[in-house]
Amino acid sequence: MKLLIASRNPHKLAEIRAIFNLPGMEIVGAHEIGGLPEVLEDGRTFQANAVKKAVSLAMLTKLWTLADDSGLEVDALNGEPGVYSARFAGEPANHTANNVKLLSLLEQQENRAARFICVVALSSPGGRAQIVEGICPGRIIRETCGEQGFGYDPIFVPDRHEQTFAQMDAALKNQISHRARALKLALQTWGELLGQASADWPARRPKLRDTREA
């Protein structure tokens, strides 16, 4: 059985492959299947974007498909940048410009609470989808710190830690990050389903359970 990941990001694919290590399953990225379009992420929520990507590519390829959408929510900014995290400072997407804008907006703010959120969606080939969510709460510091990671990692310190994501060893970050938490929950929630699909493919295609269906 093939499980399609609606991503072309090699780091994300490596993380998913490490967690979804199920017998008989072949995990493929969107770039490994020719002709797949980029799905426009125009939803107003992480859930909407993740489901749209998963369902669109699942119905197009007739493969079980996993997709995610993630971003940063800041309390003092009423949840911004949210779904606009990647292009907070405008087009084209620029991590440095996003960090500069965010720090500028928070310059006079004492409330630095924030959280990274990742929503993972799984769609059957017929377009039925479920979602799970991973959250990593933390705070925004006042200047960038660290050279690892990407995006807002240099200015985000997760709760119960003193280092930013950009200072952390990758192994530690991948244990506590929003994406790692979402993927581990996805495996707990759907592991049996995917394992069954892998064992029975293509003789029988199990249906998604109705719990937490998007």
With 0-12 / 13-18 / 19 or more C-beta atoms within 10 angstroms meaning exposed / middle / buried, residue 38 is exposed
User: b/e string for 90-119 if b means 16 or more Cβ within 10 A?
Assistant: eeeeebeebbeebeebbeeeeebebbbbbb
Pairwise CA distance, residues 97 & 103, whole Å = 10
Beta strands in the chain (DSSP E): 2-5, 26-29, 64-74, 113-123, 129-140, 156-158
Residue 84 token pair? 């606009």
Residues marked active site are found at: 69
Pairwise CA distance, residues 121 & 118, whole Å = 10
Q: What is the dihedral sign for C-alpha 5, 8, 13, 16?
A: negative
